[in-house]
């Protein structure tokens, strides 16, 4: 299968203080409020500083919309209904049939209990966006409560039950796309707690096993990286928090690829700018 996007991925840029090839698709994932949106927006702006043509993709339209509008981001929201409609229409050659199928109670009943189908369609949509424009870079902000893992696994799971036919061929294309380390980079964000870092490292292994992409783990929101001098008088609770954080980071040192400091949350735009500067 022709590799449409190899041209852009061979360009290099300095991000995260290292020179790396810019990947076509950069995914930010991690469970809970670990800073995915702030990090993906900072990365978006870092790429723009390097004069790249970038698209920020997300799943939750309502939250953070104000922030995104304020920043003037080139934004694409993945919406389940339009995704499915587009795919079925394309496969069966008629949007009328697609609408009819999606309207039947039978389809709805199955669709509601099988997230596999919608996950696969999401991957398809992301792949379509990637193919549309050779010079376009994509930054994907994963759904807040789900891991990107369910998205990544979906074509593999589906392939194991649909072995032949038109759909099977499509699925192979999705598998090929989602497992290409030359085109895709994954950052797993975590906060400096045991549970979060354990969860991040489990997720890393799961993604690696399926795709051969090696995700990078970011320990985000570190108080211990705020540049206080040794003589600064800090309250007891903060001293203990920072001490505990250092113990946790130390214990999981081998898992962590990057560390990002805590930035006071009053102004998210400001936080994003600070992190963008730190990246570039």
Partner 1 sequence: MKKIEVKSIDIFCGTGGVGKTTIATSRAIWLAQQNKKVLLITIDPSKRLKQIIGLCDRDEGEIIPITLESNNTRSISFDAMLMSPSVSLKKIMKLSPASSFSNRIIEILFRSNGGMNELMSVIEVQKHLISKKYDTIVLDTPPGKHFLDFLGSASKIQQFFENNFIEIFTGLKNSLSGKKSQFNIIKNIANAGINKILEYLERVTGKNFINDFINALNTIYTHKDVFLDAINFQQLLKKSTHSNWFLVTSASQNKVEQASMLTDKSKQLIHDDNFIIINKSLIEDLNKWNIDNSTNDKKTNQSLHCLKESMIMHEKKIKDVLQNKGTIISFPEIIDTTPENHVKELSLMWRNFCVSSDR
Q: Which segment (21-29, 46-54, 97-105, 179-187) binds partner 1 by CB under 8 A? A: 97-105
- x/- track of binding to partner 1 for residues 47-76 (CB under 8 A): ---------------xx-------------
CA angle 155/172/161 to nearest 5° reads 50
Q: Which alpha helices (DSSP H) does the chain contain, by range?
A: 6-9, 36-49, 65-71, 80-92, 95-103, 105-113, 115-132, 148-161, 166-178, 194-211, 236-251, 268-279
- Assess 20 for contact with partner 1 (CB under 8 A): no
Q: Which segment (9-17, 27-35, 42-50, 180-188) binds partner 1 by CB under 8 A? A: 27-35
- Residue showing tokens 């199928």: 101
Question: How many CA atoms lie within 13 Å of 10's alpha carbon, on the beta-carbon side?
Answer: 5
Could you say which of 17, 51, 161, 254 contacts partner 1 (CB under 8 A)? 161
Alpha carbon dihedral 248, 249, 250, 252, in 10-degree steps, equals 90
CB of 14 to partner 1, least distance (A): 27
Q: Which residues contact 151 (CB under 8 A, 6 or more apart)?
A: 119, 122, 123, 142, 178
- x/- track of binding to partner 1 for residues 174-213 (CB under 8 A): -----------------x--xxx-xx--x-----------
Could you say which of 20, 214, 247, 269 contacts partner 1 (CB under 8 A)? 247
| H or E element in which residue 53 lies | strand 53-58
Distance between CA 129 and CA 138 in Å, rounded?
Answer: 8
Nearer to partner 1, 13 or 111 (CB): 111
Expressed in angstroms, the distance from the first to the final Cα of the chain is 34
- Assess 33 for contact with partner 1 (CB under 8 A): yes
CB of 185 to partner 1, least distance (A): 22
The DSSP bridge partners found for residue 12 are 21
Site for partner 1 in 100-159 (CB under 8 A): 101, 104-110, 112-116, 144-145, 150, 157
- Assess 19 for contact with partner 1 (CB under 8 A): no
Burial code of 15-30, b = ≥16 C-beta within 10 A, e = fewer?
bbeeeeebbbbbbbbb
- x/- track of binding to partner 1 for residues 253-272 (CB under 8 A): -----------xxx-x----
- Assess 80 for contact with partner 1 (CB under 8 A): no
Site for partner 1, rule CB under 8 A: 31-34, 62-63, 91-92, 97, 101, 104-110, 112-116, 144-145, 150, 157, 160-168, 191, 194-196, 198-199, 202, 221, 226, 228-229, 231-238, 240-241, 244, 247, 264-266, 268
């Amino acid at each position: 299968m022709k590799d449409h996007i190899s041209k852009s991925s061979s360009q290099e840029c300095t991000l995260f203080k290292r020179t790396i090839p810019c990947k076509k698709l950069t995914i930010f994932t991690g469970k809970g409020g670990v800073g995915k949106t702030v990090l993906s927006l900072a990365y978006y702006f870092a790429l723009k500083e390097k004069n790249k043509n970038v698209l920020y993709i997300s799943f939750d339209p309502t939250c953070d919309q104000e922030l995104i509008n304020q920043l003037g981001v080139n934004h694409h929201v993945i919406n389940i209904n339009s995704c499915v409609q587009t795919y079925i229409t394309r496969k069966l050659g008629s949007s009328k049939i697609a609408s009819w199928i999606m309207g039947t109670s039978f389809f709805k009943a199955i669709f509601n209990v099988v997230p596999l189908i919608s996950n696969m369609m999401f991957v398809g949509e992301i792949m379509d966006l990637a193919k549309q424009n050779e010079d376009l870079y994509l930054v994907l902000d994963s759904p807040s409560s789900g891991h990107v893992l369910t998205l990544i696994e979906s074509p593999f799971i589906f392939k194991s039950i649909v072995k032949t036919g038109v759909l099977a061929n499509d699925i192979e294309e999705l598998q090929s796309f989602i497992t290409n380390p030359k085109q895709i980079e994954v950052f797993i964000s975590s906060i400096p707690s045991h549970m979060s870092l354990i969860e991040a490292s489990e997720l890393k292994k799961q993604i690696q096993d399926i795709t051969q992409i090696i995700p990078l783990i970011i320990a985000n929101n570190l108080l211990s990286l705020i540049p206080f001098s040794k003589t600064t008088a800090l309250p007891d609770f903060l001293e203990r928090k920072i001490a505990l954080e250092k113990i946790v980071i130390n214990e999981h040192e081998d898992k962590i690829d990057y560390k990002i400091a805590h930035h006071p949350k009053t102004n998210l735009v400001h936080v994003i700018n600070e992190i963008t500067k730190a990246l570039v």
